[in-house]
């Protein structure tokens, strides 16, 4: 998948999509991995990440709505992608249809300074 194709799929699925699109078009590093994962497994993983982010005060974008979307998908297989902002301060996780034809949800997390 190329940068323009991925950018074209980032719409209004969640409020993290526009910042993710800007990071992508600004030259941020991106990947869409091969293979897929059951949406319920991802919903559980990202619900735990949401709890951790809240307890640590980590800034996120659209993490609660992404968990809701993944939960509602029930038994659907989902592909995963990631975009880093050009300065690598944000990481955006993308959840795509199994055939990578559409983005189902997108969330962002501000990365901890190291």
CB atoms under 10 Å from CB of 82, counted, come to 15
| Residue in 96, 101, 94, 112 with CA at minimum distance from that of residue 19 | 94
Note every long-range contact of 50-56, with CB atoms under 8 Å and residues 24 or more positions apart, other chains counting: 53/109
Which carries the bigger pLDDT value, residue 112 or residue 80? 80
Cα(31)–Cα(80) distance, integer angstroms: 9
Tens-place pLDDT, residues 53-79: 999 999 999 999 999 999 999 889 999
Distance CA 95, CA 111 (A): 19
> Tokens 């300074």 identify what position?
113
pLDDT tens digit sequence for 87-103: 999 999 999 999 999 99
Mean pLDDT of 3-8: 96
Q: What pLDDT does 114 receive?
A: 58
- The token duo for 2 is 């190329």
């Amino acid at each position: 998948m190329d940068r323009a194709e991925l950018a074209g799929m980032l719409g209004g699925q969640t409020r993290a999509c526009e910042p993710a699109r800007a990071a992508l078009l600004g030259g941020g590093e991106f990947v869409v991995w091969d293979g897929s994962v059951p949406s319920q497994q991802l919903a559980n993983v990202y619900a735990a990440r949401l709890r951790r982010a809240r307890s640590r005060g980590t800034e996120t974008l659209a993490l609660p709505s992404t968990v809701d979307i993944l939960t509602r998908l029930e038994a659907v297989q989902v592909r995963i992608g990631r975009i880093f902002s050009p300065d690598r301060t944000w990481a955006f996780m993308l959840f795509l249809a199994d055939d990578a034809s559409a983005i189902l949800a997108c969330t962002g997390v501000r990365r901890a300074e190291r």
